[in-house]
Structure 1
């Protein structure tokens, strides 16, 4: 929330507000009620929702009826429905594929390779070039990594790895492969969750009676099976007992 004061005028701006709704049995009542409550709250607190900057995206994998959703209104204006949008730096699409996001980050990282080449031309020490790579290239390639990497395609992984390989060639050293970064970061995050008694995802990790392995998360689709938490459980179970707990 930002406040801009000019004389006696106070203008409030609220950015990046998100409403999520899980629709079951074609009943959108709770979702639309939540939007109405948000609109009422904004009105009561002297805020105006900018409908032109508000977007709606629907994730619906049903074979039938996925195009029968009624438009969403804020006041008398209909909210624009989009097939993709950028949320906190990650491009989300209605089919939860990550090709658009990876294309975007690869393009941005390739632009930063130009500056890495300039550093090499200036005979900057390798250690400093590695620092630049970690700060300006690797950080771009792996932003939101745990969310999208498990579900990206082999072609997407290869596109990411080509940038890493080119950066290593410029620096003159071997850099960690993009596929080897995920297990390390995933396990680091999972151990952090297991140490936090109040983490909302902690209930997903149940030790079996043996106390050595975690119960697998059941998944009816490959999309869910390849997502973060099922992958995390499989990684935990692949560790020696002393490291998995």
Structure 2
């Protein structure tokens, strides 16, 4: 049985976009798959129109062969939920819901008398990865409300683990030797950015003129700052946040 493969195709445009090149790409892809005796599952192929403009912009009407493709407002891409407004609202809802389901395991183990240290290990092994998955892509763009939604999930876990001994979130973090999720997210973003800076195959994701890393202890890598972001949405997104973080070290 052949394994299913996933592919993403994107195109950018202005307020009067021309979708014909995108349709041509789909036509060529369909032709090539037919030549290689591969079938495109058109029912699982969707179109998302990213648009943050307040003015109406024509939606793309694309097809694979005789099948018109469905236009969706959100979809999962490599485990991350993205939407057509470039917000992380639905992604936060999804990860908080999934993590909340996993907290049942903590409640059950707590009722069986499992020690707090072991409950902490269960949390970090089974629940925390849900709240951290691919966080460099989305954590810097969260609104304050979304940050609080994610943080409250860990707060609930601390309440379950400590039970009657719980005396405030900050005190619980100290007792359990857990950092805030916002700190974990920032650390993961910085680690990801330094990895991009040091990796010759991935450095192109950063702004051009990024300096090659040096081993000298006095050298501090600096990146060309992102020029005057027009929106807070872009300013707070991953790459500008990485540039700011590296330059502020």
What corresponds to 2:180 in structure 1?
A: 177
Which residue of 1 is the match for residue 72 of structure 2? 82
Q: CA deviation at 1:13?
A: 4.8
Gaps spanning 5+ residues in structure 2: where?
163-171, 212-218
Q: Deviations over 1:124-182 (max 9, x none)?
A: 23333222111211111111211111111111111111111111222234132121112
| Aligned positions of 1:1-245 closer than 5 A | 4=1, 12-24=2-14, 26-66=17-57, 68-172=58-162, 173-174=172-173, 175-199=178-202, 200-204=204-208, 206=210, 213-218=222-227, 219-239=229-249
TM-score by length of 2: 0.83
Q: Distance in 1 between the 2:209 and 2:156 partners?
A: 39
Question: CA-to-partner distance for each residue in 1:202-241, whole Å, 9 max, x for gaps?
Answer: 445635xx966432112211111000111111111222xx
After TM superposition, the score normalised by the length of structure 1 is 0.84
Could you say what secondary structure the match of 1:62 adopts? coil
**Count of matched residue pairs:** 226
Q: Which blocks of at least 5 consecutive residues in structure 1 are unaligned? A: 5-11, 240-245
**For 2:110 and 2:5, how far apart are their aligned partners in 1?**
40
Contact 1:205/1:233 (CA < 8 Å) preserved in 2? no
8 Å CA contact 1:22, 1:31 repeated in 2: no
CA-based RMSD: 2.1
